[in-house]
A = this chain, B = another copy of it.
Amino acid sequence: MVQEVFDAYSFVFEEELLEEISEVGTLKEFKENERIIEIGDHVTAMPLLLSGAIKILREDQDGDELLLYFLERGDTCAMTLSCCLGHTKSEIRAMAETPTKLIMIPIEKMEEWTSKYKSWRNFVFESYHSRLSEMLDTIDTIAFLNMDERLLKYLRDKAKINQNDLVQVTHQQIAYEMHTSRVVISRLLKKLELKGTIALNRNSIQVIDL
């Protein structure tokens, strides 16, 4: 366990903090598409991502979803962080996009480390910075782009996070995450295929033109 923490965070944290993390953190593993945090959950620990990728989703009253962004190795969820500090409930849903390992830090340590370790403070600030940037990007996407452009961005992001040009996803799944309908997605995907940007298969899409 110590080794995995070291691999993912050695460039960020000092030796002593890495040790502490290994001591008090609990390792957790999630399978693809397994739920990690649900909206309304009480947050009692903060996750540090060791490997894999997590997708962060927002949901409205009617149960309509929207994909916000992905987290990767070395990231933490600033939302959760935020909830920890404010002792509030989770505002988002987190699901494993790929098989994921993470280490959970009890919230009691947060405050302590924040005053004790400069590297921890910087990490927390940096996380907030990244998350704000991601949120801005998400806002740009839904405010300024049309569906076809959003779809292309979705596919590119998905291909990137999975490190694979063959995106394993159904049209229905895309529709959920982009908060639109399956028919709309099928229609636009077909157009993209005709343009030669992608190739369509059952249950997967080959992204050609990156």
A contact set with B: CB distance below 8 Å? 58, 60, 64, 66, 68, 78-79, 82, 85-86, 91-92, 114-115, 118, 121, 124-126, 128-129, 131-133, 135-136, 138-140, 142-144, 179
If A58-B140, A136-B91, A138-B139 touch, whether A128 touches B82 (CB-CB below 8 Å) is yes
A92 to B114, CA, bound (A): 28
Pick from A78, A114, A125, A140 the residue with the most CB of B within 10 Å.
A125
Q: A84 → chain B, closest Cβ, in Å? A: 10
Counted per complex, copies of this chain come to 2
Q: Is the pair B78, A128 in contact by a Cβ cutoff of 8 Å?
A: yes
Residue of B nearest to A178 (CB): B143
Task: Show 20 residue pairs from A and B whose CB-CB distance is below 8 angstroms, ordered by the A residue.
Answer: A58-B136, A58-B140, A60-B140, A64-B144, A66-B144, A78-B128, A82-B125, A82-B129, A82-B133, A85-B125, A85-B126, A85-B129, A86-B126, A91-B136, A115-B121, A121-B121, A128-B128, A132-B135, A135-B136, A138-B139
Q: Is the pair B139, A135 in contact by a Cβ cutoff of 8 Å?
A: yes
A133 to B68, CA, bound (A): 13
Q: Is the pair B144, A60 in contact by a Cβ cutoff of 8 Å?
A: yes
Residues of chain B contacted by A115 (CB below 8 angstroms): 115, 118, 121
A124 to B122, CA, bound (A): 12
Q: A78 → chain B, closest Cβ, in Å? A: 7
A143 to B126, CA, bound (A): 27
Q: Is the pair B68, A139 in contact by a Cβ cutoff of 8 Å?
A: yes
Q: A143 → chain B, closest Cβ, in Å? A: 5
A38 to B117, CA, bound (A): 34
